[in-house]
Structure 1
């Protein structure tokens, strides 16, 4: 009996301990689940708070006079922000501010890119609409904000934002370059020369050549060649604009340490100029100061003097009146390319602020921005002067190169001397007219 009693007592003790252990494990599991759920709720709360704050910032940046509408934006989920806000409530000023173009130009752009960018739905997920893909890319080009910010705003993944930027920029370069950025025909060159003569007072000129350095992050390899003369990392873009400030030749993607003259000599523009492709053949070139003279372009001190590419005389006290007159007229005409680059960077701030994209994307992005600049100018989209404030606050001053005099052509010096005589005659004639009055 004593042994049976002891056995029952032992079994009761073991059973009690097992039940207590089970209760302890169950309670611990419940606590872990509660803590995990609390962490999920907190994470969800902070994520929603971040989204609300982002929407509030975007709403405040727009110039809507309707306060109720602005407050409503802060409560809209990012997944349908595009459909419910942009497509239905954005005002003309909102389109200009965030996409740098009017609504009408935006849909013209989408129509021209439709053939290359349209995607079909799959069994796994619906395809991103064409308009939304273009909008994502334009937002990035216009603001240069991080991919994760655009991802939260449009309700798409960061990898999708990166893919949209790549594909849209490439599509713009392939589809729109033949329409908006191409070498002028003979008739267009004649029109350009007429415009430069009447508006800028420089006859026989069809374009102004300039260079733009775009700040970048350090590339993975051969970073030394990307340091420019001002001491910051960049890639160089060479561009030619007409008298209206629209690009008709762009060569982008050279390391920042490359001399401007070397970029020119490795481009097709150099071949065109040296082979005389800029000058008309039928009819032959018109006379200028008693000799036939073809079309030419203007550049700065970083380019070599050629018969088809003129630059100013180095400033010194020994310049003749004709040379000073030439420098004044050339700088006045050259301002068109400086203004074009300023407007380009003010409109598309991915070229103004440090671009953190991979180096295989940056040249295409620069080319796409130049094409979009022409698209906006051709379609008459408003340029908001306040955009220039960002350019005025730029931290990275543009480098200035100077080609050695040994690179200058004697034929170019002869042409430049003709212009000195021409401008001096004009100045003397103007002085005589003022005296007669």
Structure 2
């Protein structure tokens, strides 16, 4: 009897365990089916929402869709000025005044930069067209106004304005440097020498070297290094200007307190010129002697056989010697006249792109790239024959701080003898022309 009761109890226990297991399995299957159905409903809702948005785009057009998509992301929804006024009603003087270039040059620039500036649309918004991105950046470079002003004008966010400026500057340097900022070939050297002779009266010269100081905000580190001789903070650039008033070489990103002679002696332009790279393989004749083409520089640069600068007139007077002879004074006058080519080119650069004439509030990581981009844009506009307005220079003269002057470096003795012989040849040339 006891064995029969134990067997019956065991059968009941097993039956209960099997029933509980079946109930648990049924509950698990029910929960899994509910989760699958919830996910299916969620996906159906998502696809229906996407389908409704697509139908709204088709029915309302791209412009309405842009307003709908951008409303949650920015408080400046109006794009009427750009889409209606600028793109359809601007006349040639308007393009020149607002973007510092002609309409043809503007769209040429957009086509050249499209590989780097084009963006893909996303599910949440349409990408800005390349033309609008370029226009936003050019407005900033030309006027140096605040980001919020450009944001309200173009109907984009302030962060978008900053990104457009940064992206376009990097794209210009990456894509256009090889075309508009490159070492000259022999035909260009000869053409530049002819222009320096015919326009400025200085023979056998292919370029003038000058410095440019761009005012900046106070950097977080080593602020004293950026104080230039005039006392304000700046980034210093070295430029080489051809006879056409275009830039052949630009060396940017140096603190304003750096000695220009140190920048020049450590630049690729020094190595190229010292190695004869700015002259044909067979040096052309000058005053009956073969002589490589020369560069012209300010008093802060060292005298070389291929770099001419003025005679130090005041030094002779302080030492008790008589004033320089008439040939030397005549050389200094002709040199000062020829150096106007670089000063005029820099003035046109700062007047066209006023981010270089007013204090630039961009980060120090972007300022050198912006300077290079503005020099390339200057060459693009000059190459395409875009007009230049004289009132731009008046704005620069009223707004900017005077460019600082640098001290004259001591004589290094390197190439000094040949340099004096070369400078005497130019003195003889000007003396003959004067007679």
> How high is the TM-score relative to the length of structure 1?
0.78
Partners of 2:188 and 2:287 in 1: how far apart?
24
Map of 2:409 onto structure 1:
404
Deviation at 1:407, TM superposition (A): 2.9
Contact 1:142 1:350 in 2 (8 A): yes
Q: Which residue of the partner structure matches residue 134 of structure 2?
A: 134
1:303–1:402 Cα contact (<8 Å) kept: no
1:231 is aligned to: 231
Structure 1, unmatched stretches of 5+, are 1-75, 429-437
Distance 1:118 1:222 in 2: 37
RMSD: 1.4
Paired residue secondary structure (2:313): coil
* Residue of structure 2 in register with 1:244 after alignment: 244
Matching of residue 315 in structure 1 with residue 313 in structure 2: yes
> What is the CA–CA distance in structure 2 between the aligned matches of 1:162 and 1:340, rounded to whole Å?
28
Q: C-alpha displacement at 1:97, in angstroms?
A: 1.2
- 1:202 deviates by 1.6
User: Is 1:380 aligned to residue 377 of structure 2?
Assistant: no
Pairs within 5 Å for 1:109-124: 109-124=109-124
Pairwise CA distance, 1:149: 1.0
In 2, the alpha carbon distance for the partners of 1:315 and 1:392 equals 29
Deviation at 1:171, TM superposition (A): 0.5
Cα distance in structure 1, aligned partners of 2:408 and 2:393: 30
SS in 1 for 2:252: strand
Q: Is the 8 A contact 2:184 2:278 kept in 1?
A: no
| Residue matched to 2:173 | 173
1:299 to 297, 300, 304: 297
Distance across 2 between alignment mates of 1:78 and 1:150 = 12
In 2, distance between residues paired with 1:364 and 1:255?
14
Kindly report structure 1 stretches of 4+ aligned residues shifted beyond 6 Å: none
2:420 pairs with 1:413? yes
Q: Are positions 1:368 and 2:373 aligned together?
A: yes
Q: Secondary structure at the match of 2:79?
A: helix
Question: Structure 2: how far apart are the matches of 1:395 and 1:285?
Answer: 42
Report if the CA contact (8 A) 2:235-2:254 is conserved.
yes
CA distance in 1: counterparts of 2:409 and 2:101, whole angstroms: 42
The 2-side partners of 1:118 and 1:176 are apart by: 16
Of 252-261 and 181-190, deviating more is: 181-190
Equivalent residue, structure 1, for 2:91: 91
The match for 1:289 among 287, 290, 305 is: 287
**What secondary structure is seen at the aligned counterpart in 1 of 2:239?**
strand
Structure 2 gap segments, 5+ residues each:
1-75, 315-321
Whether 1:324 and 2:324 are equivalent positions in the alignment is no
Q: CA deviation at 1:77?
A: 6.6
What is the CA–CA distance in structure 1 between the aligned matches of 2:79 and 2:205, rounded to whole Å? 52
- Conserved in 2, the CA contact under 8 Å of 1:200 and 1:333? yes
- Aligned pair count reads 351
Per the alignment, residue 160 of structure 1 pairs with 160
CA contact (8 A) 1:196 1:205 kept: yes
Q: Deviations over 1:29-54 (max 9, x none)?
A: xxxxxxxxxxxxxxxxxxxxxxxxxx
1:425: Cα distance to partner? 1.2
Match of 2:360 among 332, 355, 372: 355
1:318-345: CA deviation from partner (whole Å, max 9, x where unpaired):
1111101111111111101000000100
Q: State the Cα distance separating 1:115 from its structure 2 match.
A: 1.4
Between the aligned partners of 1:306 and 1:400, the Cα distance in structure 2 is 21
| Secondary structure in 2 matching 1:239 | strand
Partner of 1:125: 125
Distance 1:335 1:200 in 2: 8
- Paired with 2:148 and 2:428, the residues of 1 have a C-alpha distance of 59
Matched, 1:393 2:393: no
TM-score, length-scaled by structure 2: 0.79
Larger-gyration structure (1/2): 2
> In the alignment, is residue 189 of structure 1 matched against residue 195 of structure 2?
no
1:66: which partner in 2? Answer: none
Question: Contact 2:77/2:156 (CA < 8 Å) preserved in 1?
Answer: no
Shift of 1:209: 0.6
- Map residues 11-50 of structure 1 onto 2, 5 A cutoff: none
Which residue of 2 is the match for residue 42 of structure 1? Answer: none
2:257 maps to 1:257: yes
Return the offset for 1:257.
0.2
1:201 and 1:122 mapped to 2: Cα distance? 59
